[in-house]
Structure 1
């Protein structure tokens, strides 16, 4: 069966939506939609996926599920273990699609969220038109270095150099192509703070140019430190965008002036540590009321770390281990924590060597509840939490995004929408 051409899809959409609503969905001016409808200019073939989504989604996308269970639908790209997802679910969102290529992360993700919708591996080879319709795109995309060298040359030669050219070969390109095809009401992207300064700021310039100029979204970004919510200094850049004009403001974030301290997430040795049936005694010996001995550094490793730190101190460098105490805010947990734990070593008094955080404590340090299950090895768990997000940060950003998402999904007051 042949697919309907874009103009035919536009005509079908006009039986349900106004020109203004269609224009908002595809990111074009209402006059442009009017010219397509009159046949004055051809309706671009590239808009076919967006028009098809508008038809298929209908009122469900605009008002949430019929039973009111979800206020908006989102997709979870580069999902990791679902930290961003958890934050948006807490604000009434429903996940309809997930992509994560790492098999160990997928195991943890499925253990905690189930497989109630499509879960794919690598998003790079996945066709954008097969991504289900959604209201919000979420992505903690890895930032692979790319260059914008040659863009000026292509301008001079009159060659196209839109986002497909400027970011081809990077994972950000896959975010951009899905936004272009599906036109969600909003998106949230998360990355390391250094994205702002990478390649002297040119990388971030291309990203903003892509999102604002090429895709036509209103874009806001801010660096947020996770220590407002958990005892960890973890600065990350958060980029949010909206399909239309909004009154979104980062000033609406509610960031506690003083966050919690390390003692709040450590295993409790006074007998009050909860017994989690999915953990049992894996991390904490409840009978002896102590962290399992395997997390204490071996004599050789402790000696090595002390000598390494002393060597760099003598050379005037700042490298070395990071000792943490109950009243501390820790350094940033990294994906390499499984190697030696050096960035966050928990002091155990003068007579005992320090220890690593347990994977359960790492989960707490990232803001995950104790109900979050850890079905993988310690090594994989350390990698997963080190690569994840501070979940309460995502929840707070989702909170201030939600009213603007809902406003974009609501029909215009003067709109005459005929639903079939």
Structure 2
């Protein structure tokens, strides 16, 4: 792991000028991967907020962002909007715990996911000083949470603040070797209706699959949409798992004991064991990832070998830790993906990690994929800012 502290934003002399249109505030900032993606597309951060002290430690370990990172509950922050400087864009990856199909699905008004309403209250309190653009991010389960009512409620709430909305889905596997589909909603206060596509005229596509279009149809009655045409994504799965792996020597203690590796193998189904044996028969190393899941009351090890890792998750109870299975030359080895490899799966190459593996996994498991955010900025947000500047 890399230990160190990068110079701060203002050490670099990058204090934004008063006329810089590419400024953003980062809410539910986590470990700062949205910031990395936006900065790569030419944006400048002016504010960051999160409630988690451990994630702030990671954020500051990489960015040194003491100057503008506010550690505070979003509901309390909404009571003091003067703490937030003006920005063109607000990025908000609000908690997915109560929206995910893997969670309790309490909905947008329950537990952690109710933080969306704190964010909404802050925007409301900012009045006409609120950002021109908002980028929301969450799990695709948001579309069906509470029968689609949570999705509709959030969009209607953004409409009430003057924002037209445009949802789409991007799987990180178009950019990195990790399957991580996420829902994004661009919210724009200055949209031109003549540039918008009619929701009922859309055909299913990679960015707007049938499940999303069905959710749009269910929500459509009085929602102010501004759906725009977007370019094609890079090919799915063009990056492979082997590209992000460290070359770990066989004697390194990251590798599990053979006894422990054999036990993992014994937890595989016959079909997955057959795949593992074919990997072993090769005269080269190949790689797969393994997740432990409970099937019919039994803990099973499920092997994936298409070159794409499963979705990184926070390691609650240990089940979220992704396991590397390396096989070839008549044998196999097993270890956990390390923190640097998990960072690369999120597109956060060369991220400075100065915390424990478990803390790093909590940070990256909750984060956004860096090149996905960069793509959205370059192919969507930047165009809106340029169009707004030209209309003045």
Q: What TM-score does the superposition give when structure 1 sets the normalisation length?
A: 0.65
Cα displacement (A) at 1:255:
2.7
Q: 1:88 aligns with which of 38, 43, 47?
A: 38
Q: Is the 8 A contact 1:338 1:383 kept in 2?
A: no
Which residue of the partner structure matches residue 259 of structure 2?
A: 299
Residue 111 (structure 2) pairs with residue 172 (structure 1): no
Match of 2:102 in 1: none
Residue 345 of structure 1 deviates from its aligned partner by 2.9
Cα offsets for 1:141-180 (capped at 9, x unmatched): 114649xxxxxxxxxxxxxxxxx99999910012212222
Structure 1 or 2: more strand by fraction: 2
**Is residue 98–residue 113 contact of structure 2 (8 Å, CA) maintained in 1?**
no
In structure 2, the CA distance between the partners of 1:120 and 1:81, relative to structure 1 (3 Å rule), is: same
| SS of corresponding position for 1:132 | coil
Q: Quote the residue 1:240 is aligned against.
A: 186
Change (3 A) 1:128 1:357: same
1-structure distance, mates of 2:64, 2:265: 41
- Following TM superposition, by how much is the alpha carbon of 1:124 offset from its aligned partner in structure 2, in angstroms? 2.3
Please give the per-residue CA displacement for 1:246-282, whole angstroms capped at 9, x wherever unaligned: 44625235333542111111113xxxxxxxxxxxxxx
State how far apart, in whole Å, the 1-side matches of 2:188 and 2:266 are: 50
Q: Does 1:133 align with 2:86?
A: yes
Is 1:106 aligned with 2:106? Answer: no
Please state whether the residue corresponding to 2:331 is helix, strand or coil: coil
Aligned pairs for 1:250-399 (under 5 A) are 250-268=229-247, 284=248, 289=249, 292-296=252-256, 299-300=259-260, 303=263, 306-307=266-267, 320-325=300-305, 328-336=307-315, 339=318, 343-349=322-328, 351-370=331-350, 372-399=351-378
Q: Which residue of 1 aligns with 2:145?
A: 198
Measured in 2, the distance between the counterparts of 1:165 and 1:374 equals: 34
Shift of 1:130: 2.3
Report the Cα distance in structure 1 between the residues aligned to 2:304 and 2:67, rounded to whole angstroms: 41
Q: Distance in 1 between matches of 2:254 and 2:112?
A: 45
Range moving further from structure 2, 361-370 or 173-182: 173-182
| Equivalent residue runs for 1:200-219 within 5 Å | 200-212=147-159, 214-219=160-165
Q: 1:362 to 1:290 in 2, by over 3 A?
A: farther
Pair 1:319–1:330, CA change in 2 (3 A): farther
Match of 2:29 among 64, 76, 79: 79
Change (3 A) 1:114 1:168: closer
Aligned to 1:65: 17
Q: Which sections of structure 2, spanning at least 5 residues, go unmatched?
A: 1-15, 100-107, 196-226, 271-291
Q: Distance in 1 between matches of 2:46 and 2:251?
A: 39
Identify which range, 297-306 or 94-103, moves more after superposition.
297-306
C-alpha separation between the residues in 2 aligned to 1:95 and 1:170? 25
- The structural deviation recorded for 1:339 is 1.9
* 167-176 or 375-384, which deviates more: 167-176
> RMSD across aligned C-alpha pairs, in angstroms?
3.4
Cα distance in 2 between the residues matched to 1:169 and 1:346: 35
- Residues 291 and 374 (structure 1 numbering): CA distance in 2 closer, same or farther, change over 3 Å? farther
Partner of 2:276: none
- Number of residue equivalences: 307
2:75 aligns to what? 124
Shift of 1:199: 1.1
C-alpha contact (below 8 Å) 2:134/2:188 kept by paired residues? yes
SS state of the match for residue 394, structure 1? helix
* Distance (Å, rounded) in 2 between the aligned partners of 1:315 and 1:385: 27
Aligned to 1:187: 134
State the SS of the aligned residue for 2:335: coil
Q: 2:228 aligns with which of 212, 232, 249?
A: 249
In structure 1, runs of 5+ residues without a counterpart are: 1-63, 147-163, 269-283, 414-420
d(CA) in 2 for partners of 1:343, 1:393: 21
